[in-house]
Structures are given as structure tokens and as C-alpha cells.
Amino acid sequence: MSNKVEESSITIDSGIVECYYHFSVERIKAHYPNERLIFITDENVYKSHAEIFPVGDTIIFPAGEENKNLETVGRVIDELHEIDAGRNDRIIGVGGGVVTDLSGFVASIYLRGLKFSFAPTSVLAMVDAAIGGKNGVDSGQIKNQIGVIRQPDALFFDFTLLRSLPSEEWVSGFGEIIKHACIKDAEMFHYLENHRLEDLGNNPGAFARLVQKNVNIKLNVVAQDELETNARRILNFGHTLAHAIETLNKLPHGLAVSVGIVFACKVSERLTGFDPKKTEKIVDLLQQYHLPVSAGFDKEAAWNLVSFDKKKSGDSIYFVVLEDIGKGVIKKISLENLKDLFFEI
Amino acid sequence: MSNKVEESSITIDSGIVECYYHFSVERIKAHYPNERLIFITDENVYKSHAEIFPVGDTIIFPAGEENKNLETVGRVIDELHEIDAGRNDRIIGVGGGVVTDLSGFVASIYLRGLKFSFAPTSVLAMVDAAIGGKNGVDSGQIKNQIGVIRQPDALFFDFTLLRSLPSEEWVSGFGEIIKHACIKDAEMFHYLENHRLEDLGNNPGAFARLVQKNVNIKLNVVAQDELETNARRILNFGHTLAHAIETLNKLPHGLAVSVGIVFACKVSERLTGFDPKKTEKIVDLLQQYHLPVSAGFDKEAAWNLVSFDKKKSGDSIYFVVLEDIGKGVIKKISLENLKDLFFEI
């Protein structure tokens, strides 16, 4: 089926982010007729979709979170230098979250910053990773420890690329979609309850509308607080624990978020009196989308990672809880208090 | 002699930069009573001034431009992680241009940005490198190819640290001071003509006033155009050639700038009708401050570096020329035209 391109844009402190839905990667070149475009992607995306990349101006790096580090950044920059990339050229990051994180960071620091745009190719990147301008890489065990916040000029959503996405990655993307529903959109929560992943995956029109809704939820939060001094923290719902078990158990991000959401619901029950029946509804929805709701992990090791977590401030931590489905709130709680809950729940 | 602390501040798009003159590094701790400070310096500065650094929270990296690269950035970040540096801690870069460039970059990308301030310890860093927020590192042969623009919150000028500065570094600093005089301040040019480096070096009061003047010249230009889309390019006077011969001949920065200034004066004669007698006055002043006014270098290799220079845009280059002493202007000239002048002069 063919879908008309739909456009929208949002103004953020640092500039305007344009969104183009049903926009094929091959059309990006025509969208920037007067610019030299340099595509950055990883080996997996390139293997699946070699035909969408121009010859010569495509830089390919090894796939996987384990390559999202300063060493890969250095190698991509060497390649930019080799192909004589200049200050007026534009980077197009095409791939999942690792590609958009790394290519956005490279674009932010090469020659002190080139223009850049993204074409996310996974569900997770479409609804979360490619949005909001947090670009960066990992350092040792700590995810995203190195980076900057800088918005892409445009996001191009080419849903046809999802056809080759493994089913586990579909599931992972729904971890973030359900997170958005929990903190901001009770209506979307009910919509998800009434659908199945398999149906949405086979209905590009419905899926595109769902992505659009998620992009708008995230962009609206980011527009309120680009640098995460306050309101943006809401997006960390489920992430405090998720980052730790993602590292320890090598769980895909969305699956770790799912486990983290269940933990955060239980913390919500203690802190806001969140109804345990609603926790059950959330657990049911996560399972309906094939997401894990618990995981065996080393609690001591996880706590060490949680307490290093970069969102900590002094002896307390910002932790997102629910007051209701569709209504997340940010609480500052002491590390000690969180530690007690952590080992109790 | 003791001097009272003098303060000034300037507002730039991204924030306010405060300047404190006659401010000892040991006092910085008391200036930020409620913050954890982490000092970053290099081995040379640490060897000369170990007593000014607090034990525990000082990170020391190997000195020299050859270590200003992503690898050192990675190592400093590992050390920040080891000492558990958090999002609310402040980096204090204490050193010459390599230290302020690298520590400012680290501060800009670690945990997506910590607060940072500088205490420049060389003449060059005091009048140029520490000012303006261009933080970054080199990649291969290309200087400052990787970086961001982000302003320090404060600059602390501790002139007592200059006592141990080698005389070559004093000379190098005057390369940038004379550059400022050439493009912006005929009065300072005449002042410099009437003084000698040795006198200024032995007169902390007079030297401090000279530094202050240079800081204000540079900060005022930066405040007009922080991201160097236009007016800020004026500061590149003498630098197009300087960057190339600095790399090829391993010449200290200010000395390379001096040679570049003479080249730019000769280009000015062709492009603006700049009076050759004024070129002679500039040559005389540079020599009075023991700066080189010519250098033997591989012209082909230098041209290759010039034409890669990151200030290029399309087939033309922004090149700064003088209309008069104290009046620099930015010209866009074709690479071809510059190439002809380059091999002719």
C-alpha cells in the first residue's frame, strides 16, 4: 500500500525539528538538493537495505551496543576526513538507536558540528531513540555516559524498512510505546489494550498513526525542557532499573524498560497510593505485547549501577512514578529510601 | 606585589562569562563553596605548581599537542568515572591551551555536560585559547577537528603562575596579542610599539591590563557571533597559513600565527591596497617581540592543509585581511585566487 507523505514540525529551544512520515530514504537526497549528504549506518542495516544508500558517501560501522563507544566515533571521524567531509555537508543517520545516537554525536562534534537528520529504521528508534537530541556513546559499563544534546533538523520515517525487522525488535519498541501510554496517554493505553502487536505490525496505516502519536508525546515533553532540568525527566519512567538490568543481563532496551516499568509501578503503589489493580492492568498489557515483566538479576550489582545512575543529584534521585494510568509524576526521593524499596520489592 | 581582584562579565548567547583577574587558583574552591570541583591539568603544569591542586580530585594527563586527541579524552572520562564524578560537579581546567581545549571538551560531553571554568596558565591561553568556548581535540593531522562551542562560566587569571613560564611561551602569546592589535585596536598596537616584552613580563600590573584588554577584544567579538557564522571569523587573521605550518613545522602556535600575519598582510596589499609601509611596521613589531616573520616550509604540503582547512566553504574561503592597522575585514575569496597568491607571495 502507498501512503501520502505527512509532515509536521515542532519548535524546540535550539531549533525546529521537522517530521516526515511515509518518506522513503531514497527521497532524502531530493529533499536537500543543494547539500552534500553523508550517510552513516551500521553493518546490519546496510546488509538489509544496501540499495537505499548512495555509493561513496556512506560510512558503515560495526553493529551493536558494544561498538557504541569513543573508538568507533574516532574511526567514523577518520572516514569523514578521508572523504573530505566539510562544514557545509549534512550527516544522515540511518538505523536503529545505536546508529542515531552515534551518528548524531559525530555530527555534533566533527568540525564543531555539521547539520544532521535521521531516518530511524527500528520501532524503538522511531518512537524514542531518534527523538529528542540526546546523542552520545557509552563508556565502559555506563550507557550514554558521553554525549551532547542537539536536535536533528529532520526525522524521516520510512515504514517500509520495518518489514525486515526481527520480531524481538518489534517487541522491544513496544516497551517505550507502553511507557509513553503509562505516563502521558490513557487513551493510547486503552487503544493498545484493544489491539495486538501482530495486527499493528501488519497494518502500516494504523502503525504509522501510532508512531506519530508517540513522536508527538516525546517531542512535546522535550520542547518543554530540552536540557532535562525538570519536566523531561518524566521520560525516564521505568528506566532507573532498566539501565542497570540492560547492562547486567544484556537484555534489549525495551525489554529492560518493561521490567523497569513493573518495578516503578510497585514503587508508585508505596509513594502515591497507585492502585495495585492498575499495576495489574499494566502488567497484562506488557505481556500482551510479549514483553517480560520480571527478570532474575544480581540485585547488589544492579543497585551499584542504579546509584551511579547519572540522574542522581546529591543523595537523592529523581524517580518517576504513576498517580494514574496516563499520569506520571517526578518525585525526588532519597537514595536510602529507594534502596529500601529496591531490596524489598 | 599584590593586586586587588578585578571582576568583569560579558553576556554571550549561551550564558554569562565571568572574568576574575589577580585571582589565585587556591581561592577557586572558596568561590564555589557548595560544589565539588574536579581539576584537570597536564603533567607540566602539575610539575610546576603541584601545591595549587587539591589531592584526590585532580586529573592529570600527558602534556603536549600530540596528546590532545580522543584517546586522552577517553582516558580522562574513565578517571572521572572512577572518582564518581556526578552531574552536579564542576570541572576546573588549569593550564595552557591544550588543557583548556581538552578539559572544556570533556566537560561538554561527560554525562552530556558538566559546569566548567578555566584558570589559564600561559599567556596564549590567557589572551586567546581559554576564551570563546571553542573546546576540542585534534584528529590526525588536523587541529581542532573535533569539538563543540560551549562557554566556561568563569575565567580565573592567576598571574603569579606565569613566573615559571618559559620565555618561548611568552613570545608565543604575543603572536595572538599582536593579532588582536592588528585587527581591532590601533591604540594597543602603538602601546606595544612603545614597550618591550621583557618590561611587560616584569610588570604584573601593566601586563594584567594588557591581558584584560585582549580578553575584552576577543569576548566582544565572540558575543557578536558565538557560533562563527560571520563576525567571529575576524579572529582567524593570520591563522589560515598558521594552522598549516604549525602542523608541518611543529612551530608553537603564536610563532606560526606571526608568520601567518605577515602572509595575510601581503595578501591585504593585493586585495585591499593595504599600505606596504604598514606591513613593515607590523613586521617590525613582531620582530620586536622576538616573533618569526618567515619560515621555510613545504609549500605544496601547506597548500593541501590550507585547502582542507575547516573554514573553507564550497570553492571559496573566508580570509581575513587588513584595511588598516586596527581594522581587519573578512573577505570571501576563491580557493583558486588564494592558491595563486599563496604560491606567488
Model ipTM value: 0.91
pLDDT of residue B309: 54
As a whole number, mean pLDDT of residues A140-145 equals 82
As a whole number, mean pLDDT of residues A65-78 equals 96
Other C-beta atoms within 10 Å of B200: how many?
21
Asked if A312's CB is within 8 angstroms of B86's CB, the reply is yes
Residue from B111, B116, B144 to probe the interface with A (highest A Cβ count within 10 Å): B111
Return the residue of B nearest to A36 by Cα: B314
Percentage, residues of chain A above pLDDT 90:
84
As a whole number, mean pLDDT of residues B185-199 equals 97
pLDDT of residue A107: 98
Percentage, residues of chain B above pLDDT 70:
98
Please check whether residue A335 touches B, CB under 8 A: no
pLDDT bracket for residue A216 (50, 70, 90): very high
Query: For B81, which of A78, A86, A139 is closest by C-beta distance?
Result: A139
Tens of pLDDT, residue by residue over B115-173, are: 999 999 999 999 999 999 999 999 987 788 999 999 999 999 999 999 989 999 999 99
Query: For A112, which of B78, B84, B149 is closest by C-beta distance?
Result: B149
Residues from chain A contacting residue B146 (CB–CB below 8 Å):
77, 109-110
Please check whether residue A54 touches B, CB under 8 A: no
d(CA A86, nearest CA chain B) in Å: 7
CB hemisphere CA count around A178 (13 angstroms): 37
Please check whether residue B34 touches A, CB under 8 A: no
d(CA B196, nearest CA chain A) in Å: 37
Which domains, and CATH codes, for chain B? Answer: 8-164 (3.40.50.1970), 175-344 (1.20.1090.10)
Tens of pLDDT, residue by residue over A149-179, are: 999 999 999 999 999 899 999 999 999 999 9
Alpha helices for chain B (secondary structure H): 28-31, 43-49, 70-82, 97-109, 123-124, 167-184, 186-193, 197-201, 204-224, 239-249, 253-272, 276-288, 299-308, 335-344
Return the residue of B nearest to A311 by Cα: B87
pLDDT at A310 over 80: no
Residues A28, A118: Cα–Cα separation, whole Å:
10
pLDDT bracket for residue B6 (50, 70, 90): confident
pLDDT at A186 over 70: yes
Residues B329, B324: Cα–Cα separation, whole Å:
9
Q: Determine the 3-state secondary structure of A166 from DSSP.
A: coil
pLDDT of residue B56: 83
Q: Which of A131-145, A322-336, B217-231, B270-284 has the lowest mean pLDDT?
A: A131-145
Instruction: Establish, for the pair of chains A and B, how many residue pairs have beta carbons separated by less than 8 Å.
Output: 85
As a whole number, mean pLDDT of residues A228-256 equals 94
User: Based on the number of CB atoms within 10 Å of its own CB, is B202 exposed (0-12), middle (13-18) or buried (19 or more)?
Assistant: exposed
Residue from A69, A146, A232 to probe the interface with B (highest B Cβ count within 10 Å): A146
Residues A208, A194: Cα–Cα separation, whole Å:
17
pLDDT at A139 over 60: yes
Query: For B70, which of A70, A144, A149 is closest by C-beta distance?
Result: A70
pLDDT of residue B314: 63
- Buried-exposed string B240-272: b where 16+ CB fall within 10 A, e elsewhere: bbbbbbbbbbebbbbbbbbbbbbbbbbbbbebe
Please check whether residue B70 touches A, CB under 8 A: yes
Asked if B312's CB is within 8 angstroms of A77's CB, the reply is no
Residues B316, B311: Cα–Cα separation, whole Å:
9
CB A238 within 8 Å of CB A177? no
Q: Mention every residue, 6+ apart, whose C-beta is less than 8 A from residue A214.
A: A126, A127, A128, A176, A177, A180
Please check whether residue A148 touches B, CB under 8 A: yes
- pTM tops 0.90: yes
Q: Given the C-alpha cell 499493528, which residue does it identify?
A: A200
Return the residue of A nearest to B35 by Cα: A314
